[in-house]
Chain A
Amino acid sequence: MPVVILRAPLKDLAGGNREVKLEGPDVRSVVRALEADWPKTAGWVLDDQGRVRQHVNVFLNGERVREDAVVGPDDTLHILASITGGS
């Protein structure tokens, strides 16, 4: 089962869990599984249309990917905010 690594504030919304194991054939499905297990994360990673938000980064085994990337059972996903700033 793929492992998803979360950082604040997503970690806090997922009950304080830094690592969660979630089923899903692609990134969108894995995030939907996260939302199902931890409803407070709903809408934080994916927008209304199920796309990874512009300023959120999802890394699959170290490579930045989008919502339709295929996820295997031994994969690791990192979800974190992008490094943007100014205001």
Chain B
Amino acid sequence: MRELLVGTKKGLFVLRGEGSDPFEVATRAFEGSVVEFATRDPRTGRYFASVTSGFYGPRLMWTDDPAGDWEAAKGPAFPEGSDTSLDRIWVVTPGEADGVLYAGVAPAALFTSTDGGESWTLNEPLWKERVAGDWQPGFGGLALHSICPWPGQPDRLAIGVSAAGVWITEDGGASWRTGYTGLVPRYMPEESWEGTNVLCVHNMHRAPLAPERLFMQFHGSVYRSDDAGSTWNDIAEGLPSGFGFPLTIDPADPDSAFVIPLASDGDRVTPDARVRVYATRDAGVSWTALSEGLPAGDAWLTVLRQALGRDGEGDGLGLWFGATSGEVFGSADAGKTWRTVAPRLAPVTSVRVA
């Protein structure tokens, strides 16, 4: 039985199913609030949900049973006196050390938990970089949305920020350096490119079997790094558009990445009114459209940043994504065939496999 955690504009939906039938809605939680992101820590089985009330603000909730009571975590919250308040929790990612999790938030900051997600502490060194660097927000706010641990090396981490590029630590967050080289901000005048830190990362994932390799969906292109995020190579050729938000990888294959392009910055819908996931199996040299079973016409869908999840690997890789139309699609065979697993949810903000 597979369990999908689908965050939506109208709460969290826990979907369960297998085989070819639509999944059933096993649980709905946080009715009336936006669930920006939900995930499960595979080490402990604990569930996390980023919940934002339009009235009462954002909070991180956790539980061991999504159908039961949820507890509010202590944080993430900015220290009093910092003149900053939390807008949104974009992502929660398990770290490599026992009990450690990371949360990326807006305004862009990294929080760390060492007690399994019950309490959170601001990473001050990165926050000082943010203040000193006068980081600028993207259209969706100043968001730290991608956190890429290094398997087996707890002190190594890369993060992606919209719109402040890639930041890398190799000492457990005590110090940070940028990974800007090769990223081209075509949304700015060309004379402004050199030296800018206004680099709008949309999504970033690390290949666990070759951790020096990362893939990135950028604002207007797709990139690959082979040196742990220090430098980047444009690999968007062959895609219908370089613009998009979601990205994921096949953990068994460091040459694989999956994206869902949108037509353009100004027209954020699936290109040509068709829904297609694009896969590379050669590190971005070529891309293949995966569309069997997906809407093939009259389909202007928007798939948001965190709305593509995965499980498994190789030929059994599961790919699951949701659209703001409220549909959730899935493939259990690495994208060869697709089906609709939930046709009419609320606008989908995130999809993860529990």
- For window 6-54 of B, CB contacts with A under 8 Å fall at 9, 53-54
**Distance to closest chain A CB from B344 (angstroms):** 18
B59: Cβ under 8 A from any A Cβ? yes
Residues from chain B with Cβ under 8 Å of A55 in the complex: 54-56
Interface size class of chain B, counting residues whose CB lies under 8 Å from the partner chain: 10 to 19
Stretch of B83-91, B162-170, B227-235 at the chain-chain interface: B83-91
Q: Which single member of B53, B72, B86 contacts A40 (CB below 8 Å)? A: B72
Cα of A45 to Cα of B57 in the assembled complex, Å: 8
Cα of A65 to Cα of B59 in the assembled complex, Å: 24
Residues from chain A with Cβ under 8 Å of B59 in the complex: 43
Cα of A48 to Cα of B56 in the assembled complex, Å: 12
A50: Cβ under 8 A from any B Cβ? yes
Cα of A53 to Cα of B52 in the assembled complex, Å: 13
Residues from chain B with Cβ under 8 Å of A75 in the complex: none
A42: Cβ under 8 A from any B Cβ? yes
Number of residues of chain A lying within 8 A (CB) of chain B: 18
Contact B77 A48 (CB under 8 A): yes
Q: A48-B84, A48-B86, A49-B84 are in contact. Are A43 and B55 (CB under 8 A)?
A: no
B78: Cβ under 8 A from any A Cβ? yes
Residues from chain A with Cβ under 8 Å of B298 in the complex: none
Q: Which single member of A9, A53, A84, A87 contacts B57 (CB below 8 Å)? A: A53
Contact B55 A82 (CB under 8 A): yes
Contact A50 B80 (CB under 8 A): yes
Residues from chain A with Cβ under 8 Å of B53 in the complex: 44
**Distance to closest chain B CB from A78 (angstroms):** 14
Residues from chain B with Cβ under 8 Å of A47 in the complex: 57, 85-86
- Closest B-chain residue to A9, C-beta based? B56
Contact B80 A49 (CB under 8 A): yes
Most buried by B among A9, A47, A50, A82: A47
Contact A49 B57 (CB under 8 A): no
Cα of A40 to Cα of B71 in the assembled complex, Å: 8
**Distance to closest chain A CB from B218 (angstroms):** 28
Residues from chain A with Cβ under 8 Å of B79 in the complex: 48
Contact with A along B65-81 (1 / 0, CB 8 A): 00000001000011111
Residues from chain A with Cβ under 8 Å of B81 in the complex: 49
A51: Cβ under 8 A from any B Cβ? yes
A81: Cβ under 8 A from any B Cβ? yes
Cα of A49 to Cα of B78 in the assembled complex, Å: 8
Contact B80 A43 (CB under 8 A): no
Q: A42-B72, A43-B77 are in contact. Are A49 and B83 (CB under 8 A)?
A: yes
Contact B83 A53 (CB under 8 A): no
Cα of A53 to Cα of B54 in the assembled complex, Å: 10
Q: A42-B72, A43-B72, A87-B9 are in contact. Are A48 and B55 (CB under 8 A)?
A: no
Contact A43 B54 (CB under 8 A): no
Cα of A68 to Cα of B53 in the assembled complex, Å: 24
B82: Cβ under 8 A from any A Cβ? yes
Cα of A53 to Cα of B53 in the assembled complex, Å: 11
Contact with B along A1-45 (1 / 0, CB 8 A): 000000001000000000000000000000000000000101111
Add 5 more A-B contacts to A43-B72, A48-B82 (CB < 8 A): A47-B57, A49-B78, A84-B54, A84-B55, A87-B9
